[in-house]
Structure 1
C-alpha cells in the first residue's frame, strides 16, 4: 500500500520558510519527492504575505485571540480606527473646500496660491496616512455592495 503524506501541511511549512531537509525529516518524505511536488505545483517560499498577515494581526490585536468574541472585538476596534482616519480626511477636505470658495469669492489670488500649496501638502500627508493604515482606494468593492470612495488627485 502506498504511503500517504499530508502534502497540504508540507506545502504550508515550505511556504512558511521550512527547508526541504527539515520537511523530509519531519514528515518522512524524500527530499527529491518534495522538490518534484514543489516544482510541479509552483510552491514558493516567499514569506512576504505570511509576514504581512502576521504583522496586521499584531497591529489589530487579533494574534492570540482564540475566543471568537475577543477576535471580533479586536477586528471591530481596528475597523473603527480606520473609519475614523477616513472620516477625519473627509472633514479636512470639506473645510478646505470652504476656504477655496471664500478665497474665490473675495478674488484673493494670493490666498488661492497658498491654498494650492496647502492642498498638495494635505494630499501627500493623507496618502502617506492611508498607506500606513492599509487603506486602499477602490472605485467599487464587493464588500461595500458597490459603495465607492473616490479621492481626487
Structure 2
C-alpha cells in the first residue's frame, strides 16, 4: 500500500459521492476501506447527490475549477465571500435608509411619507427576499435578522 499522501482523495471523494462503493474504491485506488471510511466521517462525504450538486454549483459560482491550486481556490472563495458580504451590507444599508424615512414621517406627522415608508418596506422585503434566495443566503445560516413589522403585523424576517 502507498502512503496516505499518495492518494487522490478529491477523486476518491467524487467517485464515492457519484455512487461508487467503498470496496470498489479501495480496490481501484489501492487504499484501505478504513481510510476511506475515515475520510467519509471526517469530511462528511455523502452519496445523496443533492449536497454534491449544491457544492459543485457553489464552486462554479465562486470561480473554483476542479483541480486548481489551493491558492487559486482560496482566492476564488474569498472573492465570492466578498461579493456575498456586499449584498448583505447593501441590504442592511437599505433598511437603515428606510428607518430614516419612517423617523421623518413620524416626526413630521406626514401621512404621505408614512404611506411611502410602508410601500418602501414592502418593496424592499420582496426584492431582498428574491436576492437572498438567488445568493443562497437563506440556507440555514443567518448573518443578522431584520424583523419587518407593518401596522403591528409581523411581515417576516429578512
> Normalized against structure 2, the TM-score is what?
0.62
Contact 2:98 2:120 in 1 (8 A): no
* Aligned positions of 1:3-152 closer than 5 A: 13=15, 15-17=17-19, 46-64=48-66, 66-136=68-138, 138=141, 149-152=144-147
Corresponding residue pairs, total: 120
> Normalized against structure 1, the TM-score is what?
0.64
Segments of structure 1 that go 5 or more residues without pairing to the other structure are 1-8, 29-43, 140-147
- Cα 1:63–1:12, aligned 2, differ >3 Å: closer, same or farther? closer
RMSD: 3.2
Partners of 1:65 and 1:11 lie apart in 2 by 13
Displacement of 1:66 in angstroms is 2.5
Partners of 2:19 and 2:132 lie apart in 1 by 30
Partners of 1:138 and 1:64 lie apart in 2 by 26
Q: Give the secondary-structure state (helix, strand or coil) at the position aligned to 1:66.
A: coil
Contact 1:54 1:63 in 2 (8 A): no
Partners of 1:65 and 1:92 lie apart in 2 by 39
Richer in strand (by share): 2
The structure whose Rg is larger is 1
